[in-house]
Amino acid sequence: MTPDLPPVAPSVTAELVEALSPRLRKRLDAGVTKLVARPAVREGDTVRIAVDDETDVVLHAPGGTVTGADAIRCGCLLAPDCLHRAAAASAAPVAAEAPPPSPAPAEAAEAREGTEPVPGTGPAAQPDRTGPAETETATAEQRAAARTVCDAAAAVLEAGADGAGAVLQAGLLHAAHTARLAGLPRASAAAVSVVTGVRAARSADPGYRLADLAGALADVLGVAHRLPHATGPDLTELRGTARQPYRPDGSLRLYGLFSEPVLTATGYAGAVTWTADADGRLYTVSDVAPGGPARATGAADRAVRIGDTALTHRELSRAGLAVSGATVSPTGRLGAGAGVRAVRASGAAWHAEPLDRLWAVPAAEQVARALKGGQDLLFLEVTLTGTVRETTGDCLLADCAGLPLRLATAHDDPSLPHRDNLRLLAAARGSRLRIVARLVPEPLPRALLLAVEHPTDPAARVDLGLDRLRHADLPAGAVAPPAEAAPTADEVPLHLLRRRVHQAVSGGRRVLASAGSVSGDAVRLRRLGLATAGDLLDDLHAAAADRSRDAFGRLLPADTDHFARAWLAAAVYTDAVERALCAGGWGAATTGTPSSEPSSATLARG
């Protein structure tokens, strides 16, 4: 995947790959590698790739996205069913598809009023009604689409990121498109996230994280597995929404908190500015579009897209906003409709009302809220105590009301100043600062550092992804201490199961099938009270090694569904226990503990 190419709709990539002959499909991965190495020249909405001295591949992307197969053209003799068009689509970032149009007049009226139609409500997606209570269930079309997504995702898991080439990726993109047409945007988006993660892994993208890909795979398999049996509110949640519905929220008086850059592996970049009202509710103003690092760093100086205000994101993060006729999504994103009016207003310091109340909430309460699905931002007051060296780089050590806390960079891209700012903050050892961070659900208290109070000016703040600290901003005589080795801690050995879950995502079934005996790991897990973890580890390896042969000794096709279900049970369990350990590490209230773990049979069913 290369950010030099415009995003391509999943349906386009699936269509072009499906049109290839079996012989060309075998050569597709090599074709993608060759095409990525060629320079791409952008001219307005057109991107041109010189395959050789006589052949060009042209991608036409009106609005920044390739939405049709005919928008990718090639000058070779085999066109249109040539390898080059499919390779270009497979090398490009995956675009977010628009929801399918609906002919229903009521939905059209809703769209004109500023609301978005909810998937699963159109004529083609009316729910099945059974029994006297008419319990809502998934339609036959949705169940078939969920099965298609599950099969495609299981095939990717079977091969692992290392073996999931362009053909398997196209199969999952086709399933994503099918799910969207059936009114299942959540399954569609999760499938696209898996493809994006696989491409990042195969291209050695520095932003790739194995844990993120494992989470995306668990999400898409979990949704596809549960949806055919879901009813009522559970079904609505599993279907998801194609777009965020914006609802009127009257007049708002907002105070800027901070801005953060956005740079995704899907080829989108920009900035998001966080604000709060007098009651502490959070609202965001975003400017995200197709682009790369340059757009992520430049978007902060663009005017915010709301009302007639000329404030930039950088200015809004320190000023205020008075909005009338506001429309707000369920996640707090402010709409920019024609009826919205906004003017600049005075801001507030972090230590002044009303922003001060955000830091008055105990850290444990904030973490409990985040783990229950609420906002994952943490507003903490910490004392910097040093740095620690980890495998992914150095991170800050801090004391938060007696709780040891690790603060890591929110993004590792060298074009963003996150890591440079963290190194300078290490020199402010002993400083007591207010920070804004994003929770990382791990057993040890950990968060991603987003913004910080200025080390020498309590009335100022630093957006660590946009602003650059300098030595002059630090306290006099500040010197960065050497990074220490990460201290060992007595942790629940959940890594014995987690590493097998991650190994399967990276290398596929064959890695676990040849991993040898793991009875020692399973015994250790049971001895320490994690009996379910031991059972799941045994089940996972048994499913990986389960290959039958025919009468002639030839291997029969693998049962990908069995392996996917065993892997999903292990992934769901690992996530649940890690979240419980995270709550325990922060001292947050939780409904369960690692010792009261669900049984492997329960996990396999759900």
pLDDT, greater one: 123 or 39 = 39
pLDDT in tens, 158-187: 999 999 999 999 999 999 999 999 999 999
Q: pLDDT category, 491, cuts 50, 70, 90?
A: low
Confidence check: pLDDT of 488 > 90: no
**Which amino acid does the sequence have at 242?**
A
Confidence check: pLDDT of 115 > 50: no
Confidence check: pLDDT of 269 > 90: no
pLDDT, greater one: 203 or 552 = 203
11: its two tokens: 């349906």
- In sequence order, the 6+-apart residues with CB closer than 8 A to the CB of 340 are 306, 307, 323, 324, 325, 326, 327, 334
Q: What is the CATH code of the structural domain delimited by 247-345?
A: 2.40.50
**Which amino acid does the sequence have at 594?**
P
Q: Judge contact between 270 and 285, C-beta under 8 A.
A: no
- Residue with tokens 């956005």, as numbered in its chain: 262
pLDDT of residue 60: 92
Confidence check: pLDDT of 357 > 90: yes
| Fold annotation for 361-485 | OB fold (Dihydrolipoamide Acetyltransferase, E2P) (2.40.50)
User: Smallest Cα–Cα separation from 251: which of 322, 345, 307, 324?
Assistant: 324
Instruction: Collapse the DSSP code of 397 into the 3-class scheme (helix H, G, I; strand E, B; otherwise coil) and give the result.
Output: strand
- In sequence order, the 6+-apart residues with CB closer than 8 A to the CB of 579 are 371, 441, 590
pLDDT of residue 283: 94
Confidence check: pLDDT of 12 > 90: yes
pLDDT, greater one: 5 or 175 = 175
- Residue with tokens 């095939």, as numbered in its chain: 155
Angstrom distance (rounded) from CA 138 to CA 154: 21
Q: pLDDT category, 227, cuts 50, 70, 90?
A: very high
Angstrom distance (rounded) from CA 475 to CA 478: 6
Q: pLDDT category, 205, cuts 50, 70, 90?
A: confident
Q: Burial level of 388, CB count in 10 A (0-12/13-18/19+)?
A: middle
Angstrom distance (rounded) from CA 197 to CA 214: 9
pLDDT in tens, 276-306: 999 999 999 999 887 788 888 888 899 988 8
DSSP 402-457: TEEEEEEES---TTSSHHHHHHHHGGGTT-EEEEEEEE--SSS-EEEEEEEE-SS-
pLDDT of residue 132: 43
Most confident of 2-6, 332-336, 346-350, 542-546: 346-350
Q: What torsion, rounded to 10 degrees, do the Cα atoms 161, 167, 168, 172 define? A: 120
Angstrom distance (rounded) from CA 604 to CA 606: 6
Q: Judge contact between 207 and 560, C-beta under 8 A.
A: no
DSSP 463-514: ETTT----GGGSPTT--PPPPEEPPP-----THHHHHHHHHHHHH-HHHHHT
- In sequence order, the 6+-apart residues with CB closer than 8 A to the CB of 106 are none
Angstrom distance (rounded) from CA 292 to CA 305: 20
pLDDT of residue 516: 55
CA atoms within 13 A on the CB side of 269: 23
198: its two tokens: 């696989």
pLDDT of residue 45: 87
Q: pLDDT category, 272, cuts 50, 70, 90?
A: very high
Which region among 12-26, 373-387, 480-494, 580-594 has the lowest average model confidence (pLDDT)?
480-494
Angstrom distance (rounded) from CA 403 to CA 364: 10
Q: pLDDT category, 331, cuts 50, 70, 90?
A: confident
Mean pLDDT of 463-467: 94
Percent of the chain with pLDDT over 90: 52
At CB < 8 A and 24+ separation, what contacts does 454-457 make?
455/425, 455/428, 455/431
Give this prediction's pTM. Answer: 0.80
Q: pLDDT category, 266, cuts 50, 70, 90?
A: low
Provide the residue ranges of all domains of the chain, joining segments of one domain with +.
10-91, 133-239, 247-345, 361-485, 495-605
**Domains 247-345 and 361-485 equal at CATH topology level:** yes
Confidence check: pLDDT of 604 > 50: no
- Residue with tokens 């892997």, as numbered in its chain: 567
Which region among 31-35, 242-246, 350-354, 519-523 has the lowest average model confidence (pLDDT)?
242-246
pLDDT of residue 550: 73
pLDDT of residue 479: 65
Computed over every residue of the chain, the mean pLDDT equals 84
Q: Judge contact between 451 and 436, C-beta under 8 A.
A: yes
Q: pLDDT category, 241, cuts 50, 70, 90?
A: confident
Instruction: Collapse the DSSP code of 20 into the 3-class scheme (helix H, G, I; strand E, B; otherwise coil) and give the result.
Output: coil
Q: What is the DSSP letter of 104?
A: -
pLDDT in tens, 415-460: 899 999 998 998 888 899 999 999 998 888 999 999 999 999 988 9
Confidence check: pLDDT of 140 > 80: yes
392: its two tokens: 């992914």
Which region among 36-45, 238-247, 357-366, 511-520 has the lowest average model confidence (pLDDT)?
511-520
- In sequence order, the 6+-apart residues with CB closer than 8 A to the CB of 459 are 349, 351
Q: Judge contact between 28 and 167, C-beta under 8 A.
A: yes
Q: What torsion, rounded to 10 degrees, do the Cα atoms 154, 158, 163, 164 define? A: 0
